[in-house]
């Protein structure tokens, strides 16, 4: 699929991997709707991107908010062909912590709600709108790119909720791709390793350097632009479908 002039939706586009992806799509000629929470920099980033791009405040797990944002995008762009799911939240805590205190079930539930259910919510609602598109020469009506994590495969101590949520994204990638194949919509997932995200950049420089050095090659943290580049390549390559792609410099996470 050619990115130039497509209508694209990027969740979590107000920072980190989502911001980089929104910028990369716009640089390639896409019209971009950034979906994020109101406290994000989404409105500022949409203004910087310019063109027809805009910001819509939406919690990805909220059906009404996502529906309204997608309908606005369809109205503004004449349709949406691309959906990139980058919205997500971290969580940490052992199954049983100090003092034999069990993990907070509300935190586990919220992590699943945003990272897994929120991703599926956007996929199903975006795909229903993509189904209305005229197919291109390859019969393609849309492309979806999700964000998982290497924690889906090698969750570390304290990542029970986060790993479960990202493992769910990995697990649903192929069946959703198969579901949507009949209407010409592709679905892939990127599983990034250690990247320069806002959360990571809050760590001391020495700690970031140490983490980067643990990556076989290149021995540094990943750059958001590298994630964005892969997301764009997935959109552009019609044979990429139903795949989960690790983007991690060959790291395999240790227990802690």
Q: Is 208:195 a contact under the CB 8 Å cutoff?
A: no
Let me know if 228 is a catalytic residue. no
For 82, list phi and psi in degrees, rounded to 5.
-135, 135
Mean model confidence pLDDT for the chain? 96
Alpha-carbon torsion 223, 225, 228, 234, what sign? Answer: negative
By C-alpha distance, which of 92, 220, 111, 98 is closest to 156? 92
Number of helices and strands (H, E) in the chain? 9, 7
Cα maximum dimension of the chain: 62
| Beta strand pairing call for 82-85 and 142-147 | parallel
Catalytic residue among 54, 55, 162, 195: 162
CATH number of 7-196+222-247: 3.40.50.720
Share of the chain above pLDDT 90, in %: 93
- Reading the block at residue 209, the tokens are 């350097």
Closest CA to 12 of 44, 52, 59, 54: 59
Question: What is the arithmetic mean of pLDDT over 95-112?
Answer: 97
User: What pTM value is reported for the model?
Assistant: 0.96
pLDDT bin (cut points 50, 70, 90) of residue 199 is confident
CA-only gyration radius of the chain, Å: 18
pLDDT in tens, 133-147: 999 999 999 999 999
16 versus 210: which is more confidently predicted?
16
Average pLDDT over residues 208-236: 95
Rounded Cα distance, 33 and 176, in Å: 23
Three-class DSSP category at 248: coil
Each residue of 45-90: pLDDT tens digit?
999 999 899 999 999 999 999 999 999 999 999 999 999 999 999 9
Contact present, 130 and 142 (Cβ < 8 Å): yes
pLDDT at residue number 159: 96
Read off the pLDDT band of 193 (50, 70, 90): very high
């Amino acid at each position: 699929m050619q990115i130039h002039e497509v209508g694209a939706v990027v969740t979590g586009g107000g920072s980190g991997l989502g911001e980089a992806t929104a910028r990369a799509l716009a640089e390639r000629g896409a019209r971009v709707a950034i979906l994020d929470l109101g406290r994000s920099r989404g409105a500022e980033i949409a203004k910087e991107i310019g063109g027809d791009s805009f910001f819509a405040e939406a919690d990805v797990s909220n059906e009404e908010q996502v529906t309204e944002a997608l309908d606005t995008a369809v109205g503004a762009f004449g349709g949406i062909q691309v959906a990139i799911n980058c919205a997500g939240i971290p969580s940490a805590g052992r199954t049983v912590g100090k003092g034999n205190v069990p993990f907070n079930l509300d935190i586990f539930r919220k992590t699943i709600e945003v990272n897994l259910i929120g991703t599926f919510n956007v996929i199903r609602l975006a795909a229903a709108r993509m189904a209305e598109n005229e197919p291109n020469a390859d019969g393609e009506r849309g492309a979806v790119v999700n964000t998982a994590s290497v924690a889906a495969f090698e969750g570390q101590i304290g990542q029970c909720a986060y790993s479960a949520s990202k493992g769910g994204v990995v697990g649903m990638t192929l069946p959703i791709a198969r579901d949507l194949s009949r209407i010409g919509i592709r679905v892939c997932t990127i599983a990034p390793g250690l990247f320069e995200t806002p959360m990571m950049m809050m760590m001391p420089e020495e700690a970031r350097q140490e983490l980067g050095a643990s990556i076989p090659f290149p021995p540094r943290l990943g750059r958001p632009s590298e994630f964005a580049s892969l997301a764009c390549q997935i959109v552009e390559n019609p044979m990429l479908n139903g795949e989960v792609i690790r983007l991690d410099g060959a790291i395999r996470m240790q227990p802690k």
